[in-house]
Structure 1
């Protein structure tokens, strides 16, 4: 465990450092509260042992700063007081300290508190990992392993949070004649086909782009820093890659599973909202379907020749 010590008294600092290292922990030493805060931001220690009274930022100020800076991680704070008065202890707990020891420091007492610190911070780290996993699970489609509509909504909102959002394109993709595929081959085969097509879509776009399962046999691609003509080239490549999978479909005129796609662009001169862009991509997809399927159509709104 990484432990930060903050104490302006040399002898007290040396005793605390020796006790921490004898307990088997890595030690970082600060000579006052201000330098402790700087070291905390650089090293992110699991535990802090801080004197109450220090020049500049005192122990209470340091506790408050640490608590206000925490997000997923947790730092165990042990306050060192000269007398262990009730007022000092209560003030420390109110400021965010977890425990306290008194001067002169007893290494055994500190060792016991560092054991508790290790257990508590380990539990907090486990909880943070579980929360992260649950957050990711809530935003992932279980069949295709692509992100789902919840993540899409968040990401589309994020594209518009900056003062000047960059150009991007949305592409609505639909598997052609998929209902008849399920009827002919069964839902298990249909699920396997969707998973294969999903991985193909993800493999054919850049790392900066994103692919989502929109629902059923529909997918949504977000292509960043892309014009409509550039997006059309990308989707033609994607369409060709899916066709090359040669997933047999006797109920389709091509004899294999294919996709159709509709593209809408968020570009200079066409700063439409996301709902409007989704509608435009959907209408373009409908046009691709109406034109015979297994093709890409681009919305005329915001399209550009370059």
Structure 2
């Protein structure tokens, strides 16, 4: 573990450092609270062992600052207090400390506290990892690996706010696999799943790094295209449709004999500052128009 020890008593600091390093941990030392806070921000230690009274930021303030800043990773805090100072112990725990050690410092006691700290910080690291995995799973479509509608909602909210603030245009393109129900009826749902994965990969391959590709639901996909006009977005989507046709997925239920895609595009512009939900509705209406016009094409929102 990486351990930060903060104490303005040179002798106590020396004893603590020797004990920490003796048991195989990396040790950082600070002679006052301000230095300890700077080292914490720079190195993000696993454990902080801090004296109560120090020049600059005292131990309580350091505890509160660490707890206020923490996100996923957890820092285990051990407060150094004077012998028999029960009020100090309670105040330290209330400020965010996990444990305490009384002075003069006993290396064995500190070692015991560090063993507990290792268990606690490892547990918190595992929990943070699982939270991250669950968060990613909640925002990922399990079939295609694309982001899902929850992630779309979050990303579109951020993009829309930025576009409003800086008057930047963007487009959304709603896509739908043509005659997909008949594809499933003819070839089976397993083949349908494989086809959706292939279409998803084709759309991701055609998109720029700044673009977002999402599974909107069923056989529908949604593309978010920052800094695109309707004209440039339409040209891009026509190339994307070419890419899907290039997959040459046989579909006897389609007039062309292969799997195709239709798309509808709406745009946020300086002249059309519609909200995100309105843009999605307009893109959906444009997609419906593409379907009505014969499919396998791109239509712009009116």
TM interval, shorter chain, is over 0.9
Query: Is the Cα–Cα contact under 8 Å of residues 3 and 48 in structure 1 kept in the other structure?
Result: yes
| Partner residue in 2 for 1:304 | none
| Partner residue in 2 for 1:128 | 128
| Partner residue in 1 for 2:68 | 68
The 5 A counterparts of 1:285-300 are 285-300=287-302
Is 2:87 aligned against 1:92? no
The equivalent position to 2:217 in structure 1, one of 203, 215, 218, is 215
- C-alpha RMSD over aligned residues: 1.1
Counterpart-to-counterpart distance in 2, 1:237 and 1:12: 70
| Partner residue in 2 for 1:229 | 231
| Partner residue in 1 for 2:107 | 107
Query: Structure 1: which 5+ residue stretches go unaligned?
Result: 301-306
Query: Structure 2: which 5+ residue stretches go unaligned?
Result: none
The 5 A counterparts of 1:199-214 are 199-214=201-216
Q: Shift in Å at residue 160 of structure 1?
A: 3.0
Counterpart-to-counterpart distance in 2, 1:259 and 1:293: 7
Alignment partner of 1:271: what SS?
coil
Query: Is the Cα–Cα contact under 8 Å of residues 242 and 259 in structure 1 kept in the other structure?
Result: yes
| Partner residue in 2 for 1:303 | none
**Deviant stretches of 4+, over 6 Å:** none
| Partner residue in 2 for 1:137 | 137
Is 2:155 aligned against 1:155? yes
Deviations 1:110-164 (A, max 9, x none): 1111111011001000000101111111111111111111111111112233433
Counterpart-to-counterpart distance in 2, 1:75 and 1:82: 23
Query: Is the Cα–Cα contact under 8 Å of residues 60 and 92 in structure 2 kept in the other structure?
Result: yes
TM-score, length basis structure 1: 0.96
| Partner residue in 2 for 1:177 | 179
Tell me how many residue pairs correspond in the alignment: 300
Counterpart-to-counterpart distance in 2, 1:54 and 1:88: 14
Alignment partner of 2:166: what SS?
coil
